Amino acid sequence: MEKKNIDWGNLGFGYVQTDKRYVSNFKDGSWDEGTLTSDPTVVINECAGVLQYAQTVFEGLKAYTTEDGHIVTFRPDLNAARLKASAERLEMPAFPEDRFVDAIAQTVAANEAYVPPYGSGATLYIRPYLFGTNPVIGVKPADEYQFRVFATPVGPYFKGGVRPLTIRVSDFDRAAPHGTGHIKAGLNYAMSLHAIVSAHKEGYDENLYLDPATRTKVEETGGANFLFVTKDGKVVTPKSSSILPSITRRSLVYVAKEYLGLEVEEREVYLSELEDMAECGLCGTAAVISPVGKIVDHGKEICFPSGMTEMGPVTKKLYETLTGIQMGRLEAPEGWIKVIK
Ligand SMILES: *Cc1c(COP(=O)(O)O)cnc(C)c1O
């Protein structure tokens, strides 16, 4: 299979149109058989539920070329389960979980020429999503839906080296208690756009959102969960019902315990504890884990001892172990790696 002529090492994180995408439609209470198509456009009614009332949920995962030349994805069954949970919260029909995994495999295989080679640092980002398509003007769930999966090659996250992030404690809230913070819905991102644009204007990379009820506990950023490392080497990650359950974070917790023999605590984490932490990282599919060097709370700077030039030692071990599993350099736990070809 001949790869596309792409400068893999210099790709950014942007949309590059690939050859094929998967589409299935839900009508009269059931999903059709689904198909791959070359058409990247979506044509829907002007009054579609997604356009009027934001009835849409999504997922994000990657395909990798392993050291021995296979193309694999990482724990797509967990993305299938999470999309189902997200859909149910917004009164949408879930796409069957086994068919979800098959749709990912079909989309990746059909775009094999766009899967970056091993060692390039680049990956194929996969975006499954689901949205209401039929006209809805009174507020209610749509009756018809479309599920799509497209793929786009993305560059190495730490292009030009690791650069620890500077984050501000946000005055905006991300997710209400008992709201929708735990599902992967576009609506959680729409309301974060103003906060991220204003953070960037003030020179910060990201927002740290607090729990809106007490504004004392750490939740997450707009698109990644937190992991902290204490000075005695324990891994601590915030627990809250309004945090999006990151698959990367859950995998890193397993890696910390089972591969690195570290103690892990999933518990409420208070903002006031952060000055005692040794390391801080953000976890998500995009970066696996990106180090945070500094958190600024209204002028008060919390500087982690790991500094502003490199990953802390535990963060680095976590990063190397999980990417080693994903790229086939380390043996994976049972069921984590789905081989596409
Ligand atoms: C997608 C997402 C994450 C990261 O989840 P992964 O499954 O690790 O990619 C974290 N927080 C939010 C709000 C997200 O939408």
| Per-residue model confidence as pLDDT tens digits over 157-187 | 888 789 999 999 999 999 999 999 999 999 9
**Residue 280 contacts by C-beta under 8 Å, 6 or more apart in sequence?**
226, 227, 228, 229, 274, 291, 292, 295, 304, 306, 312
Query: Is 264 in contact with 272 (CB distance < 8 Å)?
Result: no
Q: What letter represents residue 248's amino acid?
A: T
**Number of residues written out for the chain:** 341
Nearest-CA residue for ligand 1 atom 10 is 224
Distance, CA 285 to ligand 1 centroid (Å)? 7
Give Cα separations from 171 to 90, 210, 272, 298 (angstroms). 27, 8, 16, 9
User: What does the alpha-carbon distance between residue 300 and residue 306 come to, in Å, rounded to a whole number?
Assistant: 18
Average pLDDT in the 195-203 region? 97
**pLDDT tens per residue, range 239-268:** 999 999 999 999 999 999 999 999 999 999
pLDDT band for position 156 (cuts 50, 70, 90): confident
Contact between residue 320 and residue 286 where contact means Cβ atoms under 8 Å apart: no
3-state secondary structure of 283: strand
Give Cβ neighbours of residue 220 (< 8 Å, ≥ 6 apart). Answer: 174, 208, 209, 226, 238, 243, 244
The 10 Å Cβ neighbour count of residue 271 is 18
Separation of alpha carbons 169 and 178, rounded Å:
22
Ligand 1 center–CA 183 separation, angstroms: 9
Q: CB-based burial of residue 181 (10 Å sphere; 0-12 exposed, 13-18 middle, 19+ buried)?
A: buried
CA distance from start to end of the chain: 12
Say which residue the tokens 């204003």 belong to.
198
Question: Is the Cβ atom of 174 under 6 angstroms away from ligand 1?
Answer: no
pLDDT 10s digits, 219-236? 999 999 999 999 999 999
Active site positions, annotated:
184
- The amino acid present at 253, given as its one-letter code, is V
Percent of the chain with pLDDT over 90: 96
Cα 4 to Cα 70, 286, 305, 316, distances in angstroms: 17, 22, 43, 32
Identify which of 172, 184, 189, 282 to mutate to test ligand 1's pocket (most ligand atoms within 8 A of the CB).
184
Asked if pLDDT for residue 40 goes beyond 90, the answer is: yes
User: What phi, psi does 33 have (nearest 5°)?
Assistant: -70, -15
In DSSP terms, 152 is beta-bridged to: 125
Phi-psi region at 237: left, alpha or beta (left = phi > 0; alpha = psi -120 to 50):
beta
> What per-residue confidence (pLDDT) applies to 157?
82
Summary mean pLDDT of the chain = 97
- Going by alpha carbons, the residue nearest to atom 13 of ligand 1 is 223
* 131: enclosing H helix or E strand: strand 123-132
- Minimum mean pLDDT range among 149-163, 262-276, 304-318: 149-163
Contact 134, 168 (CB under 8 A): no
- 46-82 residue pLDDT tens: 999 999 999 999 999 999 999 999 999 999 999 999 9
CA 184 to ligand 1 centroid distance, Å: 7
The C-alpha atoms of residue 205 and residue 18 are separated, in whole angstroms, by 29
Residue 68 in tokens? 């021995």
Cα gap 76→171, rounded to integer Å? 35
137 burial (CB, 10 Å; 0-12 / 13-18 / 19+) is: exposed
